[in-house]
C-alpha cells in the first residue's frame, strides 16, 4: 500500500511522464468532450472503468458504490443519472458488476454487528438473494453461488434503472438510450454482457409512470 506522500509524488511523476509522451494531453483535458456513457460500477479498488475499457478521460461519466447498486433512495446515483441523461444526453447507461465482489459476499452472510451503515447498504443485495434464492442455492459451489448473485444483482440494478422516471421520460421522448448489464472477471480481465434493455421494452405497469 502506498502512503499518501507517495501518492502525491507519483502524481507529479505521472504528469511529467504523460506530458513527455503526449504534450497536448492537458490541453485536451481542459476541453469538453462528448460523453456518451454513464457507468455505474462497484467501488472495489481493482475495478476502474476507464482502465478496463481503455478509455480516455472525458469519455465515461462514472458513479461507483459498494455492489454497483441503483437504489431509488440514493440521491447520489439518481442525481448523477439525471445529469447524465438530461444534460449530457448519454446514449448508454451501463451497470457493471464484477465477480468475487466482497460486497456481494458480505450480503450473503449475517449482518456484521460492527458495521451499522454498511449493513443497511447491503440490504438491497440481500433482497436480490432472497428473490432468487432457489436459483442461486442450486449452484454447487460457494464460488458459484457468489458469482451468480453478482450477475443477478447486476440484472436487478438494470431493472431498477428502467423503473426510474428519468429513464422512462427519456424513452418516451424517443431518445436513443440503451441500458446495459455487464460483469467483469477479475480472473481474466474480460467484461461479459448479461443483458440490454431498449426503449421498446414492455415495463411492468407496477413501475410505469404516467408521463405527459
Ligand atoms: Co465489488
pLDDT in tens, 111-145: 999 999 999 999 999 999 999 999 999 999 999 99
Helix (H) or strand (E) holding 180: strand 178-184
Maximum alpha-carbon separation in the chain: 56
Q: Beginning with the edge strand found earlier in the chain, give each strand of the sheet holding 191-197 in spatial order.
A: 60-65, 37-42, 92-98, 178-184, 191-197
Q: Is residue 58 within 8 Å of 3, Cβ to Cβ?
A: no
Say what the pLDDT of residue 212 is.
78
Superfamily of domain 35-201: Carbonic anhydrase (3.40.1050.10)
Distance (Å, whole) CA 179 – CA 128: 19
- Lowest-confidence region among 42-51, 89-98, 145-154: 42-51
Distance (Å, whole) CA 105 – CA 31: 41
Q: Rounded to the nearest whole angstrom, what is the distance from the C-alpha of residue 43 to the centroid of ligand 1? A: 6
Say what the pLDDT of residue 202 is.
93
Say what the pLDDT of residue 1 is.
57
Residue 63 has pLDDT above 70, yes or no: yes
Place 210 in a pLDDT band, splitting at 50, 70 and 90: very high
Q: So where are the chain's domains?
A: 35-201
Helix (H), strand (E) counts: the chain:
9, 5
- Lowest-confidence region among 1-5, 19-23, 156-160: 1-5
Q: Is residue 64 within 8 Å of 42, Cβ to Cβ?
A: yes
Does this model's pTM top 0.85? My answer is: yes
Q: Is residue 108 within 8 Å of 146, Cβ to Cβ?
A: yes
Q: Rounded to the nearest whole angstrom, what is the distance from the C-alpha of residue 208 to the centroid of ligand 1? A: 30
Phi and psi dihedrals of 35, rounded to 5? -105, 110
DSSP 3-state of 168: helix
Q: Is residue 130 within 8 Å of 107, Cβ to Cβ?
A: no
Mean pLDDT for the chain overall: 95
Active-site residue list: 42, 44, 46, 98, 101
Q: Rounded to the nearest whole angstrom, what is the distance from the C-alpha of residue 150 to the centroid of ligand 1? A: 9
Give me the mean pLDDT over the 156-180 stretch: 97
Kindly report, residue by residue over 69-105, the tens digit of the pLDDT. Answer: 999 999 999 999 999 999 999 999 999 999 999 999 9
**Alpha-helix residue ranges (DSSP H) falling in the chain:** 4-21, 25-30, 49-52, 75-82, 102-107, 116-131, 133-137, 142-162, 165-172
Residue 56 has pLDDT above 90, yes or no: no
Output the nine-digit C-alpha cell for 30: 481542459
Distance (Å, whole) CA 104 – CA 153: 8
Amino acid at each position: 500500500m502506498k502512503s499518501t506522500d507517495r501518492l502525491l509524488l507519483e502524481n507529479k511523476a505521472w504528469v511529467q511522464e504523460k506530458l513527455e509522451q503526449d504534450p497536448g494531453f492537458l490541453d485536451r483535458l481542459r476541453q469538453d468532450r462528448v460523453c456518451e456513457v454513464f457507468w455505474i460500477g462497484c467501488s472495489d479498488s481493482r475495478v476502474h472503468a476507464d482502465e478496463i475499457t481503455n478509455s480516455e478521460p472525458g469519455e465515461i461519466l462514472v458513479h461507483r458504490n459498494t455492489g454497483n447498486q441503483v437504489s431509488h433512495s440514493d440521491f447520489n446515483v439518481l442525481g448523477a443519472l439525471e445529469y447524465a441523461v438530461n444534460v449530457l444526453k448519454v446514449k448508454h447507461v451501463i451497470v457493471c458488476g464484477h465477480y468475487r465482489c466482497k460486497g456481494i459476499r458480505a450480503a450473503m452472510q449475517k449482518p456484521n454487528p460492527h458495521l451499522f451503515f454498511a449493513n443497511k447498504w447491503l440490504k438491497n443485495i440481500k433482497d436480490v438473494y432472497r428473490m432468487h434464492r432457489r436459483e442461486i442455492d442450486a449452484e454447487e459451489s460457494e464460488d458459484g453461488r457468489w458469482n451468480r448473485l453478482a450477475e443477478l444483482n447486476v440484472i436487478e440494478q438494470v431493472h431498477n434503472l428502467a423503473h426510474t422516471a428519468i429513464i422512462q421520460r427519456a424513452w418516451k421522448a424517443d431518445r436513443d438510450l440503451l441500458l446495459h448489464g455487464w460483469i467483469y472477471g477479475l480472473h481474466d480481465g474480460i467484461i461479459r454482457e448479461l443483458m440490454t434493455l431498449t426503449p421498446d421494452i414492455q415495463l411492468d405497469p407496477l413501475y410505469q409512470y404516467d408521463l405527459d
